[in-house]
Amino acid sequence: MKGTNFEVDYQYDMEVDGLFIYVSQDYQYNTSIELDNDVILDFDKGGIPVALEILNASHVLKVPKYALNGIEEIKMTINVNEKSISLKAGFCVILHNREQTQLVDTFTSNDIGIPAMETELATA
């Protein structure tokens, strides 16, 4: 199992309530996998996870839209084995003048043969 760490950046579009998290370095997109309703993980040509899109982000993360404009920190761990792809992610936001971490924990089957690995993505 290969382990990799990447710094990520993000964009939040309040109008469509979409959160897009992506690695800071250049990559060549290959495929997307829906992990859960409204949670989509993108892989590059080398099978490395490089982006995460959360549709209806305020609903998925259970926070008001304004809180997603200033995310303090993002940490994600993606585990891939021959049977499944899992995502554990924490999003630190400010609510009522206090930091709170909202979690996403989801998985799906690895039916397209992504190579086994553990990858960590985090904001700088």
What is the tens place of the pLDDT at every residue in 5-47? 889 999 999 999 999 999 988 999 999 999 999 999 999 998 9
**Residue 38 is part of which domain span?**
2-123
Look at the chain and report how many structural domains it folds into.
1
pLDDT of residue 38: 97
**Who's near 111: CB < 8 A, 6+ residues apart?**
none
| The model's pTM | 0.92
Which tokens belong to 89? 């992610």
CA dist 77 and 5 (Å) reads 9
pLDDT of residue 3: 56
Q: How many residues does the chain have?
A: 124
pLDDT of residue 82: 95
pLDDT of residue 73: 97
Nearest Cα residue to 58 out of 13, 17, 12 = 17
pLDDT at 93 over 90: yes
pLDDT band at 1 (very low <50, low <70, confident <90, very high): very low
Residues 40-85 pLDDT 10s? 999 999 899 999 999 999 999 999 999 999 999 999 999 999 999 9
CA dist 119 and 3 (Å) reads 5
